[in-house]
């Protein structure tokens, strides 16, 4: 018989994934014993993750946001706020920072809409 809904199979509702911002509080983190070892292919060539840190991830979203009329911006902000109020404050802060990178008004509208979500 499968476990009842809401049983402890959800690990108590805590963070059960990595990457996360709660490793210091006991959430899962990298385990050196199971990390993929570096593997040479040919000579000096190596397999590694592609670094996307220098990519522009915000200007296109900001440009789209700025072509919207105020009513569309408000609807979008309300939709995002409805889900964003359900996450941790650290995740909220991080996400609002991302929205501000796209356009400061974007983050402000979402933050105001979060205050109205019941």
Residues whose CB falls within 8 Å of the CB of residue 58, separated by 6 or more in sequence, listed in order? 98, 101, 102
Segment 78-118, tens digit of pLDDT: 999 999 999 999 999 999 999 999 999 999 999 999 999 97
Nearest to 88 by CA among 33, 25, 42, 40: 25
Tokens (6 digits) for 70: 């105020």
What are the domain boundaries of the chain?
58-118
Q: The pTM is what? A: 0.64
Tokens (6 digits) for 108: 């402000």
Per the CB < 8 A criterion, the answer to whether 70 and 80 are in contact is no
Segment 32-76, tens digit of pLDDT: 787 766 666 665 556 566 677 788 999 999 999 999 999 999 999
Cis bond before residue 70 (omega within 30° of 0): no
């Amino acid at each position: 018989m499968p476990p009842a809904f809401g049983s402890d199979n959800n690990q108590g509702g805590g963070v059960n994934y990595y990457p996360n911002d709660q490793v210091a509080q006991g959430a899962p983190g990298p385990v050196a014993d199971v990390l993929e070892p570096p593997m040479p292919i040919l000579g000096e060539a190596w397999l590694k993750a592609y670094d996307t840190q220098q990519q522009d991830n915000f200007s296109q979203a900001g440009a789209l946001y700025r072509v919207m009329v105020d009513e569309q911006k408000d609807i979008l902000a309300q939709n995002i706020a409805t889900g964003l109020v359900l996450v941790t404050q650290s995740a909220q802060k991080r996400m609002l920072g991302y929205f501000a990178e796209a356009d400061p008004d974007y983050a402000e509208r979402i933050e105001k809409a979060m205050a109205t979500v019941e």
